Structure 1
């Protein structure tokens, strides 16, 4: 019977609805369609509904069939995405941020398109409702769904919420590792003097670090508030998991601060390298001008259209002038090297 229920509905077949899963309390689940979800009752088991937040069908279900307080429904559908937690009755209104990657069929074409995107959550003792914008793909939810399909998922609402939070934070680690590797690469390029392509990449990396921290800090506060909430469906084991997730997130924030500090140091190093390059080029131009000054003076003097210029009627005069210019230029070059100008 369970296998038949699993194959009855495919993910994303109904407008605005990604999936509906009913936990069986033993780590597994069965799927439902929208009409079945509308007739769901708490006694049927803990249900997890996942929607596309910006789809009209989702707004209709949230406002008419979800049974939410109007303020909760408005918050679930709002575009406000700053991480926060608001207790409402026996439930929690939660907004978190998770890593968004390209869908599997586009992963190779958009392997660099990784960012933090909002996940709106309502959770109480009997159900978990999650909403993310269409076009976003959160791998954390996919992994939990697969675990449930394999009978190794969460068994109750608090455990499911803790697992969602854990997976969201877990997926941050590869992003930070990639950023750290890019910092090392930029450091190597600056060390080798290849600063031409570093400036833009360093600017984008530093901006990304600031943007990530902007969301991770309030997300840490939100998870901390969940841990200390006195909801009866949050078990001690769930709170322990939240504590571990918060510790991991704090380490990631410190890691992100270190990346931001390193980019600041690299920016200073880059400015120093560029300044030294400009000074070196200026010295070369000044040295070239100094070398060309004696020939220019001699050419100017002998090029004046006035009487009395020596050597006008002598055939050897030009050779003498050429030798004189070469000697003066060689002397100028020797002086510039003696004073370390070249």
Structure 2
């Protein structure tokens, strides 16, 4: 189910308040859909129930709703609706607040064009907010609708985090596939295209590293000081995500170094080809230099030039020039210049 398909189920009130979708987790891996008013009035009716609300933070009135309905302090509510994208995480009165980033896989977008997502969660409610479409929450929603999703608030938070980080691997694999292709192409025919692709890959690596390194710190903060309502399994899952993200950051460094090596190889091949061309031109110039001197000397228009009255002088001159050229070629070969 895409976000657009889910939005078709929304009421006018949902749309007006920026509700993208909302689910009540049943504690067994499934969930039921709820709309805006029910989500606002919701209270746990059965053990294990958790409310998840996914909002468009650009909708009007979200900040006031967070303050008045959820009871968030003004500073926290401002953070939840701000366009600040620097990842961080902290606890406030037992609740977890985090700003995280996901890779933008929307059509026409660049992977390094990250999408930020704000998250507030306590033991019974999880609220996520975003401005642009983000795939990871939709994937978690699909799991819930299929009956095999997370069962607790801690499980929901860790699953969202896992999905955000897992999609980073897809971008790295795409770049590595391009690098593998670049290693096999004929640089003499696709020189400019290869350099353009390498420049894009290097920019992507630098951008992803710059954006995702703070996310590693944010997740590490969650791992060090996880909320009390996180289970031991949730804590292990967070540590595993941190280790995976650390590995992905290392993979980015490897991809960047591979791109640099390929570019160096292209540059060295281009320089070698240029040197060969210049060398051949120098040899040609060296061959024709004495012949050019002789023909120039014989072409001066002054008295006393030999062969002016000899009908065989031109033939003799041509034979002499050919002999000089052959002599030069023999000398160049002796010197191993050719």
Note whether the superposition's TM-score is higher than 0.5: yes
Q: Indicate if the aligned counterparts of 2:63 and 2:78 stay in contact, CA closer than 8 A.
A: no
Partner of residue 267, structure 2: 271
What CA distance in whole angstroms lies between the structure 1 residues aligned with 2:307 and 2:297? 12
**What is the CA-CA distance between 1:37 and the residue it aligns to?**
2.5
2 CA distance for matches of 1:11 and 1:197?
49
- CA 56–302 in structure 1, closer or farther in 2 if over 3 Å, else same: farther
Q: Is the CA contact (8 Å cut-off) linking 1:190 and 1:269 kept in structure 2?
A: no
For 2:9, the equivalent position in structure 1 comes to 9
Checking the alignment, whether the CA contact within 8 Å between 1:97 and 1:117 is kept in structure 2 is yes
Q: Secondary structure at the match of 2:120?
A: strand
Partner SS, residue 149 of structure 2 = coil
- Residue in 1 aligned with 2:60? 56
Identify which range, 69-78 or 326-335, moves more after superposition.
326-335
Asked if structure 2 preserves the Cα contact closer than 8 Å seen for 1:120 and 1:132, the reply is yes
How many matched pairs?
328
- Measure, in 2, the Cα distance between the counterparts of 1:231 and 1:131: 20
Q: Which of residues 238, 243, 248 in structure 2 aligns to 1:242?
A: 238
> RMSD over aligned Cα, in angstroms?
2.6
CA positional deviation for 1:189? 2.9
1:203 corresponds to which residue?
199
* Aligned pairs (5 A) from 1:1-342: 9-10=9-10, 14-15=15-16, 16-41=18-43, 45-56=49-60, 58-59=62-63, 61-62=65-66, 65-102=69-106, 110=108, 113-115=110-112, 116-134=114-132, 136-138=133-135, 140-189=136-185, 195-342=191-338
Q: CA deviation at 1:311?
A: 1.0
Secondary structure of the equivalent of 1:227?
Answer: helix
- Compute the TM-score of the two structures, normalised by the length of structure 1: 0.86
Contact kept in structure 2, 1:28 and 1:148, CA below 8 Å: yes
TM-score (norm 2): 0.87
Specify whether residues 152 and 290 from structure 1 end up closer, same or farther in structure 2 by C-alpha distance, changes over 3 A only.
same
CA 292–193 in structure 1, closer or farther in 2 if over 3 Å, else same: same
Cα displacement (A) at 1:63: 5.4
- The answer to whether the Cα contact below 8 Å between 1:193 and 1:273 also exists between their aligned partners in 2 is no
